């Protein structure tokens, strides 16, 4: 009897402890957010638009007491403008037209719509409407290739690239880099329709040259063990404009941002591969900007040389010099302004790079003049201009000499990051961080210019 009594007491204690442990575990689970909201990392103003296009996350947020975005759940009608369900009253913004230019439009409303399609979120709607699947999967696990018109932007799944026989020279965008069977996937390709997309074949205008030999393979690359490397993360391929020029390089960044909208993903847990068929590196004055788009170093295509590489998810980004693209070749209707797309891009980059504004200063407008003291881009009356501006009491004027040859910048090469300075540095003024290359060389070529004084830093 005594033994039974002791056993009963012991059993009660075990059950009580078990309940306490279960309650502790349950409490721990309840205290954990149901979604990793910090990975969204968007400006507060953009959150309603993000939730509009990601209703599953909005649904989780509604149920989750830890969701920091609950106040935005009342604004789920907010939309960027390119969504099919988006009503004009709920768009992110709408352009303003001060007058109508004959030849473009007959009234203000038509002019606004034209500008919206040329330089605002309407441009994204146009690209989305063009999307066409050229290589169709038959069963689950097959490859696919879907592109906008003229192959200016493409999405691929289970993409196969064979770089075992890659031949590199000085050409950054070699048109016959791949032969038949060296790029493709296991899917059904409409060859005739696909090859008809080559009307804008050009290095920075289309992906046609790179994809024209896309092959419908008779094997499943991943399932049949045909891959030396399998890239699990979503990967963006980019052909880049000049990294030493702010205007040209930001054509790259703007088009990457637009590509993210097209794919409804702003994740930084992605790879970015610089598509370059040469053996050169890439001089980049604005390398810090990449942190707004990826958590990782930029990968040069030649990193994969001698390998068969399979990408589970691949995106061929919109390009920097597309005909009628943004923003190098953009024919704009006159009299209109206020593109929400570019405002959103600016907000996005500033937020991701954690750049905050100091001010504004009471009663002062800060004016910064970017002077370019090169032989052919000087402002001839710069001194007169600056002195005139300084006579206005409300202006705080500063001149910054933007001269890339005297600025350190990243030089992207496999396994190394090179910081370069021009060979025009006077010998006694070479910065202390400039040392000679480990192979003993004193110069190399960057974008056609011979550069000296290289500092090599292992990644």
Mean pLDDT of 67-71: 98
Tokens of 263: 């794919």
pLDDT score at 174: 96
Per-residue pLDDT reduced to its tens digit, 232-275: 999 999 999 999 889 999 999 999 999 999 999 999 999 999 99
Mean pLDDT of 394-406: 83
Mean pLDDT of 65-80: 97
Rounded Cα distance between 320 and 332, Å, is 17
pLDDT over 50 at 442, yes or no: no
Instruction: Tell me the percentage of the chain whose pLDDT exceeds 70.
Output: 81
Asked which of 16-20, 204-208, 387-391 is least confident by mean pLDDT, the reply is 16-20
Mean pLDDT of 99-109: 93
pLDDT over 70 at 414, yes or no: no
Question: Which residues fall within 8 angstroms of residue 78, CB to CB, at 6 or more apart?
Answer: 48, 49, 52, 90, 92
Per-residue pLDDT reduced to its tens digit, 157-197: 999 999 999 999 999 999 999 999 999 999 999 999 999 99
Rounded Cα distance between 147 and 276, Å, is 21
More confident residue, 417 or 104: 104
Domain boundaries, the chain: 26-78, 125-316, 358-402, 406-458
Mean pLDDT of 187-212: 97
Rounded Cα distance between 140 and 279, Å, is 38
Please, which pLDDT band fits residue 434 given cuts at 50, 70 and 90?
A: very low
pLDDT score at 406: 60
Mean pLDDT of 334-342: 97
Rounded Cα distance between 40 and 260, Å, is 13
pLDDT score at 423: 38
Exposed / middle / buried, residue 273 (Cβ in 10 Å: 0-12, 13-18, 19+) = buried
Tokens of 434: 């400039």
Per-residue pLDDT reduced to its tens digit, 39-50: 999 999 999 999
| Residue 305 near residue 249, CB atoms below 8 Å | no
Per-residue pLDDT reduced to its tens digit, 284-315: 999 999 999 999 999 999 999 999 999 999 99
More confident residue, 366 or 433: 366
Question: Which residues fall within 8 angstroms of residue 315, CB to CB, at 6 or more apart?
Answer: 153, 154, 155, 156, 234, 235, 236, 237, 259, 263
Rounded to two decimals, what is the model's pTM? Answer: 0.83
Q: Any bridge partners for residue 411, and if so which?
A: 283, 418
């Amino acid at each position: 009897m005594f033994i039974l009594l002791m056993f009963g007491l012991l059993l009660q204690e075990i059950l009580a402890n078990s309940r306490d442990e279960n309650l502790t575990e349950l409490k721990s689970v309840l205290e954990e957010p149901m979604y990793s909201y910090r990975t969204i990392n968007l400006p507060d103003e953009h959150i309603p638009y993000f939730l509009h296009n990601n209703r599953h996350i909005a649904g989780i947020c509604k149920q989750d007491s830890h969701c920091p975005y609950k106040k935005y759940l009342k604004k789920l009608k907010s939309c960027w403008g390119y969504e099919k369900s988006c009503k004009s009253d709920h768009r992110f913004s709408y352009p303003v037209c001060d007058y109508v230019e004959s030849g473009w439009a007959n009234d203000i409303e038509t002019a606004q719509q034209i500008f919206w399609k040329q330089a605002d979120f309407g441009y994204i709607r146009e690209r989305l409407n063009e999307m066409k699947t050229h290589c169709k999967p038959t069963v689950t696990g097959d490859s696919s290739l879907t592109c906008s018109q003229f192959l200016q932007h493409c999405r691929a799944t289970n993409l196969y690239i064979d770089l075992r026989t890659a031949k590199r020279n000085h050409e950054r965008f070699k048109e016959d880099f791949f032969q038949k069977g060296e790029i493709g996937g296991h899917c059904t390709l409409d060859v005739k329709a696909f090859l008809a997309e080559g009307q804008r074949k050009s290095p920075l205008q289309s992906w046609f040259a790179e994809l024209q030999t896309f092959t419908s393979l008779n094997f499943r690359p991943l399932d049949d063990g045909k891959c030396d490397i399998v890239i699990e993360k979503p990967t963006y391929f980019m052909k880049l404009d000049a990294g030493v020029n702010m205007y040209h390089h930001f054509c790259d960044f703007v088009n990457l941002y637009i590509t993210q909208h097209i794919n409804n993903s702003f994740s930084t847990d992605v790879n970015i591969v610089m598509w370059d068929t040469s053996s050169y590196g890439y001089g980049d004055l604005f390398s810090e900007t990449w942190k707004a788009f990826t958590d990782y170093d930029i990968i040069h295509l030649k990193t994969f040389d001698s390998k068969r590489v399979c990408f589970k998810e691949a995106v061929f980004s919109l390009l920097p010099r597309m005909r009628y693209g943004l923003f190098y070749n953009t024919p704009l209707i006159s009299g209109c302004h206020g593109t929400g797309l570019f405002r959103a891009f600016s907000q996005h980059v500033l937020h991701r790079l954690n750049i905050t504004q100091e001010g504004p200063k009471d009663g002062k407008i800060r004016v910064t003049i970017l002077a370019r003291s090169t032989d052919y881009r000087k402002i001839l009356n710069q001194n007169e201009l600056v002195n005139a501006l300084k006579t206005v009491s409300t202006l705080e004027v500063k001149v910054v000499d933007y001269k890339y040859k005297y600025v350190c910048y990243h030089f992207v090469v496999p396994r190394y990051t090179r910081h370069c300075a021009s060979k025009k540095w006077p010998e006694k003024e070479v910065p202390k961080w400039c040392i000679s290359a480990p192979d003993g060389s004193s110069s190399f070529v960057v974008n056609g210019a011979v550069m000296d004084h290289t500092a090599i830093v292992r990644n």
